[in-house]
Structure 1
Amino acid sequence: MFNFKNLGINEKLVSILERDGIIIPTPIQEKSIPLIINNNDIIAEAQTGTGKTLAFLLPMFENIDENSSVTQGLILTPTRELAIQITEEAKKLAEGKALNILAAYGGKDIGSQLKKLKNGVHIIVATPGRLLDHLKRGTINLEALNTLVLDEADQMLFMGFKNEVEAIIKYTKKDRQTLCFSATLNSAVKKLSYRYMINPTEVLIEKESETLENIKQFLIETTDRKKQDALCSVLDKENPFMAIIFCRTKRRADDLEEGLYKRGYDCKKIHSDIPQPKRERIMKDFKNCKFQYLIATDVAARGLDISAVSHIYNYDIPENAEAYIHRIGRTGRAGQEGYTYLFVAPKDMEILKRIESEIDLEIPRMVL
């Protein structure tokens, strides 16, 4: 049986993984880890939920020198939630090591970040805006950086961070190792990657549509006016253990949270207008199963990996098949069965046709 030791991961890290029930490497880990340990640049295409965070963290920990106080690893990510999630994973792996790990993102008190930086930081997990702020202040030095990771690169470009990413790269040495992980290797991602990489190896993992067999999908035809009633009908019928409800906009999330709360549902919303400390508390409470329904926009939920989520409700139809696959991929993890429901109004029929065509499936209709 193939394991992490075969990939060159040391026994201490292997035992930390085993304690979390992680025994067998996923395809992205199996293909990427040996290349990264050998100091290759890589461009990897893999959906969220395929284990890519460990695919770059494990080899980064293998190559890091904890006796040196300079910053050796930098992970750039598009959202605060993803920065927090990666930092949590990194801190688990750092158990028993004299390693300092800093999460640097907007909305959090910069003073605490500055205090931590004074003691030297080995690994930084950051959003582009806050990191660039530190670089301009001179509070972070990336001259000795060995490994740069661009995580969720497609989303980073989609959110308009191209200029910030390029500005950050200029603060690093030319012979650093660069790793790019993206759900899609579109032309913009490839253009950015190849411009700053040295003979990168492309690592391609099957699309998540290949791994959706654990997810039972349903479609409910309704109207915008009756949509909330339809959703409540399904929630009452299913009563899921934990679920994420996706809305198209912040306003829609606000309205839905208010409506569900009045009806007595145990729910909280998350989107980019909610202050960062509150978002962190909400995510922590959700991970600890303190409430049942998380109402989220796509950007706020990007990269979230919460294994206990059994149901996904697409209150608003996503804009394309890729977004649909990304949303429903939040459930059905690690061999568990997941359930997803898509609520479609008459005006959504064109988008629905395109989604069904691209995923090569006519989503089963459910009559309430």
Structure 2
Amino acid sequence: MSDNFLTLGIRREVNSFLQQMGITEPTPIQTKAIPMAMAGKDLVAQAQTGTGKTLAFLLPILESIQPDKPYIQALIVTPTRELALQITKEAKKLGDKLAVNVLALYGGHTLHKQVNQLQNAPHLVIGTPGRLLDLLRRKKLSLSGVSKLVLDEADQMLQMGFLDDVEEIINQTSSKHQTMLFSATIPPKIRSLAARYMERPIDIRVQTTNVTLDEIRQIIVETTQEEKLDRLCSMIDEYRPYLAMVFCHTKQRAISLNVALAQRGYEVDELHGDLSQSKREQVMKRFRAAKLQILVVTDIAARGLDIEGVTHIFNYDIPHDAESYIHRIGRTGRAGQTGTAVTFVVPGEQPYLRIIEQGIRASIKKQKSKEARGIADNGDAGAQLAPPKPSAVAPRPKKPLGKNPPRHGGINLRSRRKPKTDDGTSPSPRHEAKGRQTRRSRP
């Protein structure tokens, strides 16, 4: 089975390096897309998040690049900086072995530095629409030699209003190029874009019976706005996630929730579009290293991220459409692992829940607010999906608990909620007696 990538047309050198990385067998989207991409066909590829779409387009691109030709031969357009950096990291692992020069272009870093990096003649550029257009309009970037163009997470680029920018970028490339579009969902406007700019594209769809991954247990918690924070904390304590992402609608909600969770003693930070690029990278580094237990995020900052070890997703604010829901919960249950996705629903939000259930073609198990402590461990608390498998994420060894252990033995919880004072309020962090120093994030 280890030769499967060879049968798809991938050279032996790359196949051997994939094996060293622990990647020995292609996923269904890779099996279907790689041969078509290698043959130079335009593609519209739809597959659930966490199914290996990145390698499905990276491998054919790297196979096609000629290192001895010092110009940009391939372009990957992504909606967010985080996704651009993530793809760049994977591309460089392979590119370094093949003498392929890879460059990421995105906002938040100085334009001058990236202009200088372009002088090093990259073969593959991975960038966000805004920064790419800025460089094109300044005539610092030429895409005339691009023969491979990938639009990744195209549906999110539509939602973020980047569609016109993407079309302008496409028009700057060579008239003879291969276009590949990859996404978890393909709305009608994206199909229309494909029809305008692709030549007889191959339509690839990889879906299981359910639109969302079978490995993700999905739960709806019906509560009130006033009880929501307490319910979230209760479920974090119940589940003891290794890493958890909590989604909010707006940056202000994310900032407020981050502060509230920090005040209760959780290891938490926030990620949203208002942070500087250096701060965003610092937060992501800490989260990937499990130095944070909880990351409070917005859709723009977090969608498309592939972070190993995310065991739980909490939709603190319910998504308003099925596409956002699919992308959010897709941050867990990746690459064959299991995960849990909890969505809080308050009175008046039932229409959004109906939209989501119609979109994923499944009814999600509801949990009433009066059910105080998490869900029963009886296997029937998730959506009408396959029961979860044991997680492959290795738990951290627990520290000795001493005479007065906390009420739970959290896998990645480093501090417990602060004790109450006599008047029932939480003490100030600097007046906390005997407690561990809680790291609080400043908005």
TM-score w.r.t. length of structure 1:
0.96
Contact 2:251 2:298 in 1 (8 A): yes
| Identity over aligned pairs, percent | 49
Please state whether the residue corresponding to 2:365 is helix, strand or coil. Answer: coil
Deviation of the 1:317 alpha carbon:
0.9
Residue 149 of structure 2 corresponds to: 148
Whole-Å Cα distance in 1 between the matches of residues 154 and 208 of structure 2? 16
Unaligned runs of 5+ in 2: 373-443
Contact 2:65 2:100 in 1 (8 A): no
Deviation of the 1:208 alpha carbon:
8.3
Residue 130 of structure 1 corresponds to: 131
Deviation of the 1:228 alpha carbon:
0.7
Matches within 5 A, 1:166-245: 166-206=167-207, 209-210=210-211, 212-245=213-246
Q: Does residue 103 of the first structure (1) align with residue 104 of the second (2)?
A: yes
Residue 315 of structure 2 corresponds to: 314
Residue 298 of structure 2 corresponds to: 297
Please state whether the residue corresponding to 1:294 is helix, strand or coil. Answer: strand
Matches within 5 A, 1:244-263: 244-263=245-264
Deviation of the 1:87 alpha carbon:
0.5
Whole-Å Cα distance in 2 between the matches of residues 296 and 209 of structure 1? 26
Residues 202 and 221 from structure 1, CA distance in 2 versus in 1: closer, same or farther, beyond 3 angstroms?
same
Please state whether the residue corresponding to 1:191 is helix, strand or coil. Answer: helix
Q: What is the identity, as a one-letter code, of the residue corresponding to 1:212?
A: L
Residue 364 of structure 2 corresponds to: 362
Unaligned runs of 5+ in 1: none
Contact 1:313 1:341 in 2 (8 A): yes
Residues 138 and 335 from structure 1, CA distance in 2 versus in 1: closer, same or farther, beyond 3 angstroms?
same
Whole-Å Cα distance in 2 between the matches of residues 251 and 49 of structure 1? 29
Whole-Å Cα distance in 2 between the matches of residues 68 and 284 of structure 1? 34
Please state whether the residue corresponding to 2:6 is helix, strand or coil. Answer: coil
Please state whether the residue corresponding to 1:189 is helix, strand or coil. Answer: helix
Whole-Å Cα distance in 2 between the matches of residues 259 and 208 of structure 1? 39
**Please, what is the CA RMSD of the aligned residues?**
1.6
Say which one has the larger Rg.
2
Residues 193 and 320 from structure 1, CA distance in 2 versus in 1: closer, same or farther, beyond 3 angstroms?
same
Contact 2:42 2:179 in 1 (8 A): yes
Residue 39 of structure 1 corresponds to: 40
- Count of matched residue pairs: 368
Q: What is the identity, as a one-letter code, of the residue corresponding to 1:305?
A: D
Kindly provide the CA deviation profile for residues 132-173 of structure 1, in whole angstroms up to 9, marking residues without a partner as x: 111122211111111011111111122111221121122211
Kindly provide the CA deviation profile for residues 95-145 of structure 1, in whole angstroms up to 9, marking residues without a partner as x: 333221111011111222112111211000011111111112221111111
Whole-Å Cα distance in 1 between the matches of residues 320 and 38 of structure 2? 38
Give the helix-richer structure, 1 or 2.
1
Kindly provide the CA deviation profile for residues 250-290 of structure 1, in whole angstroms up to 9, marking residues without a partner as x: 11111100100111110111111111111111112211212
Residues 136 and 207 from structure 1, CA distance in 2 versus in 1: closer, same or farther, beyond 3 angstroms?
farther
TM-score w.r.t. length of structure 2:
0.80
Q: Does residue 342 of the first structure (1) align with residue 343 of the second (2)?
A: yes
